[in-house]
């Protein structure tokens, strides 16, 4: 909606309001859908992973798992990473859809009809554009899981340490996301995707 609003205001000056659909559609499927989903998931799930694993560390549950001969990596980390890898593209698609609907609603208030928006968006976005966003979301999922699980497993054994681990998980995840996003955009550009 923000992209749609800002885009409409600028494009109207050139009589090109209809291209707000291109801006919103490409912006969402290539960039914002994956990135915004990832930021939300870093704050929600990355922090939750760190808090869960940190609390398990403080309660000696991870010691218990280890001495049962079970690898904490296999038992605690891998399922969480797999869950994020599966869920992130789905959430990214949902975010894309909601973003496009929001953009269409804003555009409809600026003399671009809903159907005009849809047709323009369809012509602007290729399956490759959608794939680039989904690939990003999978990589972002891995990074959020890594930051959350790493902070949780390295947490100290006190409640204060669990809080610090949770903060570290979110900060690290967002830094990883920004760096990875920039790197992927450069890579896509080099590959001509």
Q: How many residues in the shown chain lie near another protein by CB under 8 A?
A: 14
Instruction: Convert residues 17-56 into a mask of x (bound to another protein by CB under 8 A) and - (unbound).
Output: --------------------------------------xx
Question: Does residue number 60 form part of the binding site for another protein (CB under 8 A)?
Answer: yes
| Out of 2, 64, 90, 97, the residue judged to bind another protein by CB under 8 A | 64
DSSP secondary structure letters along 87-116: HHHHHHHHHHHHHHHHHHHHHHTTT--HHH
| Out of 16, 70, 86, 97, the residue judged to bind another protein by CB under 8 A | 70
Cβ 58 to another protein shortest distance, Å: 8
Question: Does residue number 68 form part of the binding site for another protein (CB under 8 A)?
Answer: yes
C-alpha closest to that of 105 among 96, 97, 113: 113
Instruction: Answer whether 176's CB lies under 8 Å from 139's CB.
Output: no
Instruction: Answer whether 162's CB lies under 8 Å from 55's CB.
Output: yes
Cβ 68 to another protein shortest distance, Å: 5
| Out of 67, 127, 189, 192, the residue judged to bind another protein by CB under 8 A | 67
- Helices 159-191 and 127-153 sit at what angle, rounded to 10 degrees? 150
């Amino acid at each position: 909606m923000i992209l749609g609003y800002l885009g409409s205001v600028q494009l109207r000056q050139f009589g090109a309001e209809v291209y707000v659909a291109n801006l919103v559609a490409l912006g969402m499927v290539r960039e914002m859908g994956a990135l915004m989903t990832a930021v939300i998931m870093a704050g929600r799930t990355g922090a939750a992973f760190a808090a869960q694993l940190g609390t398990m560390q403080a309660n000696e549950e991870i010691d218990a798992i280890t001495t049962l001969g079970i690898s904490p990596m296999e038992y605690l980390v891998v399922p969480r990473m797999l869950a994020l890898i599966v869920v992130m593209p789905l959430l990214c698609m949902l975010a894309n859809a909601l973003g496009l609907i929001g953009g269409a609603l804003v555009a409809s208030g600026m003399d671009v009809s809903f159907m005009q928006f849809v047709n323009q968006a369809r012509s602007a976005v290729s399956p490759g554009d959608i794939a680039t966003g989904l690939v990003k979301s999978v990589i972002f999922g891995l990074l959020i899981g890594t930051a959350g699980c790493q902070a949780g497993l390295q947490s100290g054994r006190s409640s204060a340490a669990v809080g610090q681990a949770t903060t570290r998980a979110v900060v690290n995840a967002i830094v990883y996301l920004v760096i990875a996003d920039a790197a992927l955009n450069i890579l896509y550009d080099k590959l001509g995707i």
